């Protein structure tokens, strides 16, 4: 298999793992009814996943730093399969919660390692594109994996969803074992070194880009269904269709972001995507006047948001290529933290004002991300150069 084929194989892995993370939102009601718990209790499946992902990823990446990358990729998927089987056979809600620990920990490590490996497989001028392909896998989970999993849950119950994910995981393991070449491991980075990295203003400002970006995105996305129903007047069927179409734009955005990082430079790609993102969120409350205008702005929003992701990952790798796992591990933690903050802040906005104000507040967060990016870029000439504009 050629090198780009290997990148697509890792993207398939991202699709499978991303589906396990996001499909819970579609089958949450089924899990609630099956175990006779409240919606709030069932929602802790999402919260626990985010906490384990955020806290565990940098620690596990550090502990596995000396392990061969191919072996580590296979190990993460084997643990991922175990997590899905625990979910499938879970006799009670507590055991199902335990399965989320396995799933989150394995996905956190896989995400970091897959991004590192994909970057090392291709030439420097194609690294942005490779990262974009990996994130296309995760965004495809939003478009296809989650809706398909929800449909399976409606017809056959939520447990077969995890069995299907486990089967797809076996295919990924076989593919990695058969075709993935040996990739050199990085020097392991201890927790103390990771904390020391937070004294580097480039790293901190780079992570701030991620934090404010994902906070703004999640602030609106968490409540997108009630927003579309209340403010736009969409039916449940139309909301599902709209989110599916917007998910397609998320896939397109991932590819454009990766391509743009190579073709136009990561700096320019990041700035353009953040500006479009902020503008779309700011206009969204006004666009709610009609279904057509709302759909157009939603498409721009999703495309711009996912366009940021590969360019941002590429930028973080460029800050310290020799220790890219450090930056990517910390970034994964910040990403999950921002998602939690965004969801919480969105709930506060809704309780204090209304759903229509979510767009304005989210846009402010994206603008803060833009300012963090400008500051971070201004520091680069003092240490190392990044790809020129």
Burial label for 29, CB within 10 Å (0-12, 13-18, 19+), is middle
Residue 388 has pLDDT above 50, yes or no: no
Predicted confidence (pLDDT) per residue in 50-95, tens digit: 888 888 888 888 888 788 889 999 999 999 999 999 999 999 999 9
State which CATH number among 1.20.1250.20, 3.40.50.1820, 3.20.20.10, 3.40.50.1980 fits the domain covering 1-188.
1.20.1250.20
88 close to 35: Cβ distance less than 8 angstroms: no
Task: Provide the pLDDT for residue 10.
Answer: 94
CB neighbourhood size of 123 (10 A): 10
- DSSP-derived 3-state class of residue 234: coil
Predicted confidence (pLDDT) per residue in 207-246, tens digit: 999 999 999 998 888 787 778 888 888 886 787 778 788 8
Task: Provide the pLDDT for residue 48.
Answer: 86
Q: Where does the chain hold its CATH 1.20.1250.20 domain(s)?
A: 1-188, 189-389
Task: Provide the pLDDT for residue 386.
Answer: 46
User: What is the topology classification, in CATH, of domain 189-389?
Assistant: Growth Hormone; Chain: A; (1.20.1250)
More confident residue, 105 or 288: 105
Residue 111 has pLDDT above 50, yes or no: yes
Compute the mean pLDDT over every residue in the chain, rounded to the nearest whole number: 85
Residue 314 has pLDDT above 90, yes or no: no
Q: What is the DSSP letter of 65?
A: T
Q: Phi/psi class of residue 36: alpha, beta or left (left: φ > 0; alpha: ψ in -120 to 50)?
A: left
Predicted confidence (pLDDT) per residue in 177-218, tens digit: 999 887 765 555 555 665 566 677 888 898 999 999 999 998
């Amino acid at each position: 298999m050629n090198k780009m084929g290997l990148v697509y194989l890792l993207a398939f892995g991202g699709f499978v793992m991303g589906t396990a993370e996001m499909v819970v939102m579609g089958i949450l009601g089924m899990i609630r009814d099956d175990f006779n718990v409240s919606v709030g209790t069932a929602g802790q499946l999402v919260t626990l996943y985010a906490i384990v992902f955020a806290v565990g990823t940098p620690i596990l990446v550090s502990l596995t730093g000396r392990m061969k990358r191919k072996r580590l990729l296979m190990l993460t998927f084997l643990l991922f399969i175990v997590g899905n089987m625990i979910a499938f056979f879970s006799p009670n809600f507590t055991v199902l919660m335990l399965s989320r620990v396995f799933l989150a920990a394995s996905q956190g490590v896989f995400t970091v390692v897959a991004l590192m490996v994909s970057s090392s497989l291709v030439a420097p001028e194609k690294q942005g594109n490779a990262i974009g392909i990996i994130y296309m896998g995760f965004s495809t989970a939003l478009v296809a994996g989650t809706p398909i999993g929800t449909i399976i849950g409606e017809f056959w119950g939520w447990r077969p969803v995890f069995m299907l994910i486990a089967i797809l995981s076996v295919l990924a393991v076989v593919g990695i074992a058969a075709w993935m070449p040996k990739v050199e491991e990085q020097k392991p980075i201890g927790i103390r070194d990771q904390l020391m990295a937070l004294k580097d203003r480039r790293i901190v400002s780079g992570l701030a880009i991620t934090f404010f970006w994902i906070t703004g995105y999640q602030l609106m996305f968490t409540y997108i269904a009630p927003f579309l129903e209340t403010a736009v007047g969409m039916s449940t069927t139309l909301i599902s269709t709209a989110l599916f179409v917007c998910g397609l734009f998320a896939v397109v955005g991932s590819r454009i972001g990766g391509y743009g990082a190579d073709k136009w430079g990561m700096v320019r790609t990041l700035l353009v995507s953040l500006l479009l993102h902020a503008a779309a969120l700011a206009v969204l409350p006004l666009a709610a006047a009609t279904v057509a205008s709302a759909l157009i702005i939603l498409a721009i929003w999703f495309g711009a948001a996912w366009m940021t992701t590969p360019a941002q990952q590429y930028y973080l790798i460029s800050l310290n290529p020799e220790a890219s796992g450090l930056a990517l591990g910390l970034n994964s933690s910040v990403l999950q933290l921002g998602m939690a903050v965004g969801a919480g802040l969105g709930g506060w906005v809704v309780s204090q004002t209304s759903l229509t104000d979510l767009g304005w507040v989210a846009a402010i967060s994206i603008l803060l991300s833009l300012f963090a990016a400008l500051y971070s870029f201004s520091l680069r000439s003092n240490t190392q150069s990044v790809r020129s504009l």
